[in-house]
A and B are shown apart, each in its own frame.
Chain A
Amino acid sequence: MRRDSFDTSAFTHRERPKREPKPVLRLLRRRALLAPLLAAGLCLLGGLGGCKPKKADSDSSLPRNQTLYIGGRQWGPPSSINPLAPQPDWPAISGVKLMYETLFFYDLLTGKMVPLLAESYTETPDSFEVLLHEKARWSDGKPVTGEDIKYTFDLGKKHKDIPIAPIWTYLSAVRLPEVEAGSVPAGGHPRRILFEFNKEKKNPLVVLDAFEEYRMLPKHVIEPLLASVNGDMNEFLKIKFHDPKQAVVSGPYRIHSIENEKIALVRRDDYWGNEVLHGGKLPGPKYIVHPVYKSNDHFSIALQQGRLDVSSTFIPRIWLKQPKGVGTWFSKPPYYLGSAIPMLFLNVTHPPLNDVRMRRAMGFSINYTDIRELAVSGYSEPLRPGLILPFGLESKYFSEEDAKKYGTWFDVDRAKQLLKEAGYRPVWNDKGELVETRDAQGNKVPTVYIKSPTGWTDWESIVRIVVRSMRAAGIDARERFVDASLFWGALYTGTFDMIMWTPHSQPTPSKPWSRMDYVMATADFAPEGEKMFKNFGRFNNPKAPGYVPRIDELIQTIPVMKGEELAKGLRELNALFMQYQPTLPLVYRADQLYEFSTKVWEGFPTSENPYAPPQVPGDRMGTELLWHIRAKGTN
C-alpha cells in the first residue's frame, strides 16, 4: 500500500469527483479490509514458514545420501571458529569434537572416561598421568605429542581470558616426565603428560572434566600464529580460522565451507582414529552440514520433512512426530534421558527471598506435575527434592529419607501454612485473585519477578506455571521475559529476584558434585552488580551473618572423597541444600536434547541400541555414532 501517493488537495470537498468515496476513508477501509487477510496470511506464514525448503539446503550440491544435516548448535550467521575464542561458532563450540579433539570422552551411560587422543590415565594422590595414543596425528601429518598437550594447557596459564584458563585454579603444573628425564625415544615423541594438582585446591573431578572438555591444539600451528601478533591474545582471537591452513586438526572432519546460512564439514579419510579407534572404518557421512535456522519450530519442521537428520532442539509433543520418522532415545515417555535440572535461582539478598521460610513455601507451592506434563511435554521423570537425580548413575547417592525429611514438593496447603507461620498474609480480591502479600508488620511484600529469556518456549511455559502456582498459594510473583542480551547480564550480575537457569548442564564426570558447586559455591563471591559465574543468587555470603561454613567445607572436600565417604558427603550437602533452598529445582531434562530422523540415515543410538549416548553427532561422545550410522540403502 503506497501511503505517499495521496495528495491532500485531492481530499477537499469541492475537488473530489462525484460519487467517489473519500480517499482517506477509502484508504483506511482498504487497510481494514486487507488487514484481516494480512493477519491470516502472517499467521499461516509464521506457522508454515519452515515448511518450504530453505535455499540453504535445498540447492546444496552435496549428495544427500552422503551428507548428514544436524541442527540446534548454531543459531546465527557464523563469524569465527577460532578454537580459543570464548564463544566461537559450531563446530568450534565447547563439547564438539569433530575438528579439535580432547584427551578423553566421557560416557554418560557408564560414567567412565573413554580414550580419544589419550589411551589411558593413572591417578596418584597428587596427580594424573595421561598416556597419549602413539598414532594420534594432526591433519598435516605431524604427530600429536605431549608438547602439544602441555602447550594447550599452558596457554591458559598465561592468558586468563581463554576458556581453558580456569583449570589452573586446580593445577600447579603440566609436565612431560619423558622430556625431563631425557627418555624420549629416538624419532619418537613424548607421550606421557603429568598433571599435578594444586595442593591447596585439590580437585581431581574438575581435572577429569578438563580432560573431557578442552580440545587440544597443534603447537606448531598456534605458536607461530600467536607470535605473528606478538603474543597478543586479543589480536589472535580476531583470526577466524576459516583458512584450512590455519585449521590444522586432529579430528575426523575439517571445514568444507562457511556461509551465513550453513556451515559444512568434509570427512578426513586419513583421520588417525579410523584405524586406531574404529578398526579401519570410515565415518558414514562424507559431509556434515549445520544449517542456520532461527527458531525451534524451523528445526522441528525440517526434521519431520527429512531435511534435517539430527537435532538438539526442544520439540513439543514428540510422539506426534514419531509417525513422520522422528525418533528419540526412548520411544516412550520420558523420551529423553534426564541428566540436568533446570531451576529457579533465587536472589537471597532480596526480600522476601532472604527468608528461608518464604523460599521453602515457594518450593511447596509449585505444581511440578503441570510443569512436567505441559511445559516440557512429559520429557521428565517425576521431580524429587534436592540436587541429586533419583535415577541413573546418580541414584546411588539419592536418599529417600532425606528427601522426605528436608525436601519440598507440591503441597499448596503446606505452602500456605508455612507462609502463615512466617507471618505472611495474602490479600485476595472478590474474584479470589491475589492482590498482594503482606508481612507480619502489615507492610506490602515486594512483588518478586521471574526473569527468563523471551522466546524460549519451554522455559516461558515453566515460568507461567510457576507464577500461577505461587500466586495461587498467596505469593506475589510475576513473570518477566527479557531479551537474551539482557538475560545474560542479569544472570551473572545477580540483578534479578528469580531467574531460570540450568546449572552445569554438560555431561561430565564431576556430577552431581559440580551441580551442587554451581548452585552453592562461595569461592569468588561477588556482591550484586558484579559478575559471578556460579551461585547467581548470592547464597551463603561468607561475610554475612548466617554464613554456613559446613557447605563450603563439603564443596571443597567432596572432590577428593571416594566410595562410602563420597556418598555420605554428597548426602549431607544435598540435605543442607534442601534445608536452605537457595534455588527451586523444577524439572529434569536431558543434558542435550537429541532427536533424529530416519528418512535418510539409519542406525542412530537409542535405549534399545545404546552403543553411544544420546548426543548430537560430533558433540562429546555423540561423535561415536558417525561410525555406526549408514545412509538408507547402503551397507
Chain B
Amino acid sequence: MFRGLLKNPAFILGASLFLITLLIALFAPLFMNVDTQTRVGLAYTPPSSEHWLGTDHMGIDMVSMLIAGLRSSLHVGFLAGTVATIVGTLIGVYGGYKGGLIDDVLTVATNLFLVIPSLIVLILLSSSMDQGRSLSLIALIIGCTTWTWSARAVRAQSASLRARDHVSLARINGYGTFGIVMLHILPYLLSYIFMVFILQTATGILSEASISMLGLGPYDSVSLGKILNEAIRNEALTDGAWWAFVPAMVLVTVIAFALYVINTAMEGVFNPRLRK
C-alpha cells in the first residue's frame, strides 16, 4: 500500500509540500538566528538582502516571525488534530460498536455539539480566557470544538464493522468490549483514522489562524494567524507592505492544501472502492 502511495503523484506533491514546511519549522532555527524579540529596523522595512522578507510593524525580521509562526501553527495543528481525533474516535468507535441506547445517546450528544457553531464557541472560549492564553490552550479549545466530525465519520465505520464475522467470533470467544474495540475494530479503521487526523490537523491550523486573525490568539507566541492579524491592524495592506501578510497567507494555504492532497491521495489508495 505504501508503495502505491509513493506512486501517486498527488501524494508526492502533497507530502513534498508538507515535508518542506515541516523541515523549515524543525530545522531552520539550526541554520539561522530566529529572533522574534530584537528590533532590526524600522516598521515595515521592505525586503532586502539582509532581511529577505523585510520587517514587521515592530521592526522585527519577518523571516524569523514566519518560522516562529510556522512552528506555532504546526504545534497547534498537531495538538488540536490529536485531541479532536482521539476524542472523536473514542466516542465514534464505542457508540458505533455498542449500538442501541448508548449509540443513540452518543449520537445525540455528537449532533448537539455539531449544530453549535464551532467558530463562535471558539471565539467565546478564547475571549473569556483573557489571562494566559497559550498556544496549547488554544489548541485544546480547537480540539474540543472540532471532534464531532471525527466522531461521526468513525461511528459509521465502526457500526459497519460491528456485524463482521471476525467481530462476532471475538465476541463468542469471550472478548469484552474493550478488547474487541482495541483488537478487532480499531486496526481496521487505522488508515481511516489517520486520514481523519490529517484533516483535523488542517482544520486546527486554519481554526487557529482564524481566531488569531480576529485578535483572540495566544498572547505570548507568534503564529501565522497572529502575523495576519497584526498586518491588518497595523495597516500593512493600505501601506503596501505585502511582505507582512502575503508570505503568512501563502504558508497557511500551502499547509492546508498539502494536507488535503495527502488525504485525497491516501483515500484513493486505502479505499478499495476508489482504488484504480
Contacts and interface: CB of A to CB of B under 8 A. Distances in A.
- The reply to whether chain A is a binding partner of chain B is yes
Interface in A1-31: 3-4, 8, 11-14, 16, 18-22, 24-25, 27-29, 31
Contacts of A316: 43, 57, 234-235, 239
B184 to A, nearest CB: 16
Contact of A32 (B131, B156, B260): B260
Chain B interface category by residue count: 35 or more
B115 A3 contact: yes
B232 A43 contact: yes
Nearest to A375: B58
A317 B43 contact: yes
29 contacts: A3-B115, A11-B152, A12-B160, A13-B160, A19-B273, A21-B274, A24-B153, A25-B199, A25-B267, A28-B153, A32-B202, A32-B256, A33-B256, A35-B202, A35-B203, A39-B252, A43-B228, A46-B228, A47-B231, A300-B235, A301-B238, A316-B43, A317-B239, A373-B42, A374-B42, A455-B233, A478-B219, A480-B131, A480-B219
A472 B252 CA distance: 32
A13 B238 CA distance: 52
Given A32-B199, A47-B231, A483-B127, 20 more contacts: A4-B115, A11-B152, A12-B160, A16-B273, A21-B267, A21-B271, A28-B200, A32-B203, A35-B206, A35-B256, A36-B256, A37-B253, A39-B252, A43-B228, A47-B232, A48-B237, A317-B239, A373-B42, A464-B58, A480-B131
Contacts of B235: 297, 300, 315-317
Contacts of B249: 39-40, 43
Nearest to B127: A483
Interface in A362-390: 370, 373-374, 377
Interface in B116-175: 127, 130-131, 149, 152-153, 155-157, 159-160
The 3 A-B pairs of least Cβ separation, nearest first, read: A47-B237, A11-B156, A24-B153
Contacts of B157: 11, 13
A36 B253 contact: yes
For B57, B238, B240, B259, which residue has the most chain A Cβ atoms within 10 angstroms? B238
Given A32-B199, A39-B209, A304 B260 contact: no
B252 A36 contact: yes
B162 to A, nearest CB: 11
B130 A486 contact: yes
A457 interface: yes
Contacts of B245: 43, 47
A474 to B, nearest CB: 15
Nearest to A18: B273
B37 interface: yes
A374 B253 contact: no
Nearest to B202: A32
B274 A28 contact: no
Nearest to A373: B42
A28 B238 contact: no
A186 interface: no
Interface string A478-504: 111111001000000000000000000
Contact of A12 (B152, B156, B252): B156
Given A12-B156, A297-B233, A28 B203 contact: yes
A300 B238 contact: yes
A295 B233 CA distance: 9
B232 A36 contact: no
B59 interface: yes
A72 to B, nearest CB: 15
A42 B253 CA distance: 13
Contact of A31 (B39, B203, B237): B203
Nearest to B263: A29
Contacts of A454: 215
Nearest to B200: A28
A465 B58 contact: yes
A29 B34 CA distance: 33
B186 to A, nearest CB: 16
B18 interface: no
Nearest to B42: A373
A219 interface: no
A297 B203 CA distance: 29
A20 B271 CA distance: 10
A452 to B, nearest CB: 12
